[in-house]
Amino acid sequence: MFNKKECVAMLLAGGQGSRLYVLTQHMAKPAVPFGGKYRIIDFPLSNCVNSGIDTVGVLTQYQPLVLNEYLGNGQPWDLDRIHGGVHVLPPYQSALGAQWYKGTANAIYQNIPFVDRYDPEYVLILSGDHIYKMDYDKMLSFHKEKKADCTIAVLQVPMEEASRFGIMTADENGTIVDFEEKPKEPKSDLASMGVYIFSWKKLKQYLIDDENNVDSSKDFGKNIIPAMLGANEKMVAYPFEGYWKDVGTLDSLWEANMDLLNPNVPLELYDPNWKIYSRNPVMPPHYISAVANVQNSMVTEGCSVYGTVDFSVLFAGVTIEEGAVVRDSIIMPGAVIKKNSIVEYAIIGEDVVVEENVVIGERPEMIDDKSQWGIAVVGPDVTVSTGTVIKPKQMVAGNI
Amino acid sequence: MYNEKVCGIIFSNTHDNIITELTANRTLGSVPFGGRYRLIDFPLSNMVRSGISRVGVITKYNYQSLIDHLGSGREWDLSRKMGGLHILPPFGNTAHDGIYRGKLEALHGALAFLSHSNCKYVVMSDCNIISNMDYTPLVEYHIQKGADITLMYKNVNVSEEQARASTLLKVDHTGRVGEVMIAPKTEGVNNLCLDVYVVAKDLLIDLIREATAKGEFDFDRSVLQGKSDSLKIYGYSYDGFVEDIYTMQSYYQANMDLLNPEARKVLFPADRPVYTKIRDEVPVKYGIDAIAKNSLIADGCIIEGDVENCILFRGVIVKAGAKVKNSIIMQGTVIGSKCEVNHVIADKNVVFNDYRVVTGTIDYPVYLAKNSRV
């Protein structure tokens, strides 16, 4: 028998992330590169370790290859433990048959035996598509202090954006009285961050009941939370202050990367007490040549810069050749931008080769019809041949 | 594969006396190099890439930083059940305790490591030579020649200063080593011994025991010179890229040579990585007025001023208006605003207060010790 763990984290990493289009064609969203040397999943995983949670189940389903390889035995996050640690949990075949994860709640339901092995009092449910730094231990203390059955982390959002989120209405004690998933007319500006703490015994019962309900879509936001609210369980909102961003769309992924360059955005990666861990590439320091211009940007190991880089994030092993200009863009690991090519307001995928004299994207002020403007995207492993023009908003999935 | 039968020994302390400033608190092996490395990373990575998975690191003194750097050896893929990394402290053997005087005496402390290993050959290396090489052809050559000991050398132009800190070899047309010149007074084109040796394990153990019995301790003098007739000592010529650290000036130059793309290409090829300790640093952030030219910059730095012809180690901060040129700035050093720093080697965690001016010359860089305040 395993030793008891007070709290086990379950990280939902099986979603396709279809709104990232070409970037998630061959990898699950949590594996998408972010911030120069990270992948999205580094944030919730590092938060867990920094919060003292050493047992994390990562639920995978869609394109898990890159993610599995990246996680390995969890060592980069200090999650290679004798007892606990990180465990990748794909759907599996059982005596009753085999089934995919049918929803977020069903994914946890199918892994009840995993959670039970640690006999936890609490379960922390996380998702793998948000960039934020959060001390889950404080939230757990709050949950215990309030003697809650369920605590949902909430963030104040501008009222006009509230209809994009799960919206809570809470009374003066923080007790949740109403919850609506993406309401057309939001009653409050408290948005769910997709971070839940449940008392495990309680959640387990609701998961079993939900599984038996044929009408349920087996989803936390749509089924479990409303069912618990309806049964008058003690549900509280835990107010979070700080940076939090959903990076589920191309625009928000680009924006979150740009936020790293903005000194006014409160996402401090340099905090030695709250490091974000990642599987580090084995590469030499980056080189900035005598003819390069690099400003307002993030550059990491293995890069060679001979051109101009401004307001951009360069990931590991990127090469920017002489005369090339990269502005307001994110260039993912291993990509090469050859001579005299111009990349503006773009996301360039892993290992892309942009040949010479290519133009990708454009600044918004250069376009009169703003509806025609957007981030240009080149998918992973694409070769963009000499002289090609890729327009704003255009997305390229194959060699062009 | 014979690779299973080769183990490695690295001498972390030999040549400590050549750059005494940098080795005041560390071994030569743990001297920082090239922005994110320590000198030992090069021979250690070479061994790992050559399939050597059992490596002993011989230490003498000041080895705390080395142990901190190497840890369990995981970053070099040497945290293993079979083989792996073994740090061999100088007080590890009751028969011969204490600070050794030479390699043979040091190896006495490694006898247990050697006899417990099932390897047939031992590759030994010092830490003063920086290279990205494969030891496989060296071992193959050793076997093919039926040699007792094979030394790696490079035919290269050697300065008088360099010769004084090195061993030079005369090698005949069959590859047999004739004269072994230790710290000779000479200059010009010579066979520079790269302090990488191959020897059969059993022979090495015999040589160590014999030396202990006779009270000998110097490998080069007692074995390479003393036994040049009774042992078949061969030389293996390496014609790839090496940097030799033999003075503070050569240390400075070897770092600066990394600004040359050709040097980086041969030292850090993508398919032959150089492993080092991971520190989970953030990518480098360039500020609004940052100017960086011809520099090698490791993660964790924040650049708001001017940096030109520099090697910046991890976590260096260059504040707005500071001008840093032709310098090697080690981990965690902070350069205040409006400072002017030229031809400087700043060790770890140096603080330059605002408006400080520190200037050395190209042939005499100013060295600032670890934790100094300017």
A295 interfacial to chain B (CB closer than 8 Å): yes
A257 interfacial to chain B (CB closer than 8 Å): no
Percentages (nearest 5) of helix, strand, coil residues in chain B:
25, 30, 45
On the question of pLDDT at B170 being above 70, the answer is yes
The radius of gyration computed from the CA coordinates of chain B, to the nearest angstrom, equals 21
Mean per-residue pLDDT, A71-93: 93
Residue contact B286–A287, C-beta within 8 A = no
Closest-approach residue (CA) in chain B for A271: B282
**Are the C-beta atoms of A347 and A378 separated by less than 8 Å?**
yes
- To test the contact with chain B by mutation, choose from A257, A258, A299, A308 the residue with the greatest count of B C-beta atoms within 10 A, namely A299
**Are the C-beta atoms of B182 and B171 separated by less than 8 Å?**
no
Query: Which pLDDT tens digit goes with each residue over A257-304?
Result: 999 999 899 899 999 999 999 999 999 999 999 999 999 999 999 999
- To test the contact with chain A by mutation, choose from B267, B278, B284, B324 the residue with the greatest count of A C-beta atoms within 10 A, namely B284
B282 interfacial to chain A (CB closer than 8 Å): yes
Mean per-residue pLDDT, B45-72: 92
Residues forming beta bridges with residue B359, ordered by sequence position: B342
pLDDT at position A2, please?
61
Which two structure tokens, joined as six digits, stand for A351?
């290992």
On the question of pLDDT at A13 being above 50, the answer is yes
Residue contact B297–A289, C-beta within 8 A = no
Q: Which of B278, B292, B293 is nearest residue A280 as measured by Cβ atoms?
A: B278
Residues of A in contact with B259 (CB under 8 A): 287
On the question of pLDDT at B2 being above 50, the answer is no
Mean per-residue pLDDT, A21-46: 94
**Are the C-beta atoms of A117 and A85 separated by less than 8 Å?**
no
* Site of tokens 């709104």: A19
Residue contact A285–B264, C-beta within 8 A = no
Closest-approach residue (CA) in chain A for B265: A284
Query: Which pLDDT tens digit goes with each residue over B69-94?
Result: 999 999 999 998 888 999 998 776 65
Which of B134, B112, B115 shows the shortest CA–CA distance to B42? Answer: B134
pLDDT at position B82, please?
86
Residue contact A284–B259, C-beta within 8 A = no
Give dist(CA A280, CA A278) in Å, integer: 6
ipTM for the predicted complex comes to 0.91
Which residue blocks in chain B are alpha helix, DSSP H?
41-49, 64-70, 103-108, 111-115, 136-145, 160-164, 201-214, 248-256, 261-267
B268 interfacial to chain A (CB closer than 8 Å): yes
On the question of pLDDT at A159 being above 50, the answer is yes
Query: Which pLDDT tens digit goes with each residue over B282-326?
Result: 999 999 999 999 999 999 999 999 999 999 999 999 999 999 999
Q: Which has the minimum average pLDDT: A336-350, B35-49, B86-100, B203-217?
A: B86-100
pLDDT at position A15, please?
81
**What are the strands of the beta sheet with A325-327, ordered from one edge?**
A293-295, A308-310, A325-327, A342-344, A359-360, A389-390
Residue contact B285–A283, C-beta within 8 A = no
Which two structure tokens, joined as six digits, stand for A308?
């101009």
Task: State what percent of residues in chain A have pLDDT above 90.
Answer: 83
CA distance A338 to chain B (A): 17
Where is pLDDT greater, at A314 or B24?
A314
Query: Which pLDDT tens digit goes with each residue over A88-146?
Result: 999 988 888 888 999 999 999 999 999 999 999 999 999 999 999 999 999 999 999 99
**Are the C-beta atoms of A371 and A387 separated by less than 8 Å?**
no
Query: Which pLDDT tens digit goes with each residue over A188-241?
Result: 999 999 999 999 999 999 999 999 999 999 999 889 999 999 999 999 999 999
B35 interfacial to chain A (CB closer than 8 Å): yes
Identify the three-state secondary structure at position A388: coil
Mean per-residue pLDDT, A334-350: 97
Closest-approach residue (CA) in chain B for A289: B294
- Mean predicted lDDT score pLDDT of chain A: 94
On the question of pLDDT at B118 being above 70, the answer is yes
pLDDT at position B1, please?
44
On the question of pLDDT at B174 being above 50, the answer is yes
| pLDDT band (50, 70, 90) for residue A31 | very high
B73 interfacial to chain A (CB closer than 8 Å): no
State which amino acid sits at residue B373. Answer: R
pLDDT at position B3, please?
47
Strands B317-318 and B302-303: parallel
Residue contact A37–B299, C-beta within 8 A = yes
Mean per-residue pLDDT, A374-392: 95
| pLDDT band (50, 70, 90) for residue B98 | low
Cβ partners under 8 Å of residue A215, min gap 6: none
B262 interfacial to chain A (CB closer than 8 Å): no
Q: Which of B275, B278, B284 is nearest residue A299 as measured by Cβ atoms?
A: B284
- Mean predicted lDDT score pLDDT of chain B: 92
Which residue blocks in chain A are alpha helix, DSSP H?
42-50, 65-71, 104-110, 112-118, 136-145, 200-212, 225-230, 250-259
pLDDT at position B100, please?
79
pLDDT at position B102, please?
84
Give dist(CA B374, CA B324) in Å, integer: 14
Cβ partners under 8 Å of residue B360, min gap 6: B342, B343, B344, B366
Query: Which pLDDT tens digit goes with each residue over B244-256?
Result: 999 999 999 999 9
Query: Which pLDDT tens digit goes with each residue over B187-222?
Result: 999 999 999 999 999 999 999 999 988 888 888 898
Residue contact A298–B35, C-beta within 8 A = no
State which amino acid sits at residue A374. Answer: G
| pLDDT band (50, 70, 90) for residue B96 | low
Residue contact A270–B298, C-beta within 8 A = no
* Torsion on CA atoms A295, A300, A303, A308, rounded to nearest 10: -10
Residue contact B283–A284, C-beta within 8 A = no
Residue contact A298–B285, C-beta within 8 A = yes
Residue contact B35–A284, C-beta within 8 A = yes
Residues of B in contact with A301 (CB under 8 A): 36, 283, 298-299
Interfacial A residues in 147-206 facing B (CB < 8 Å): none
Q: Which of A280, A285, A295 is nearest residue B297 as measured by Cβ atoms?
A: A285
| pLDDT band (50, 70, 90) for residue B105 | confident
Closest-approach residue (CA) in chain A for B35: A285
Mean per-residue pLDDT, A13-41: 92
Task: State what percent of residues in chain A have pLDDT above 70.
Answer: 100
* Site of tokens 């709250």: A274
Write the DSSP symbol of residue B27.
-
Which of B272, B283, B292 shows the shortest CA–CA distance to B315? Answer: B283
B299 interfacial to chain A (CB closer than 8 Å): yes
pLDDT at position A96, please?
81
Size of interface A-B (CB pairs under 8 A): 102
DSSP structure string for A214-281: TT----IIIIIHHHHHHTT--EEEEE--S-EEE--SHHHHHHHHHHTT-TTS---TT-TTSPPP----
Give dist(CA A56, CA A88) in Å, integer: 9
| pLDDT band (50, 70, 90) for residue A307 | very high
Cβ partners under 8 Å of residue B299, min gap 6: A37, A285, A300, A301, B36, B279, B281, B282, B283, B284, B314
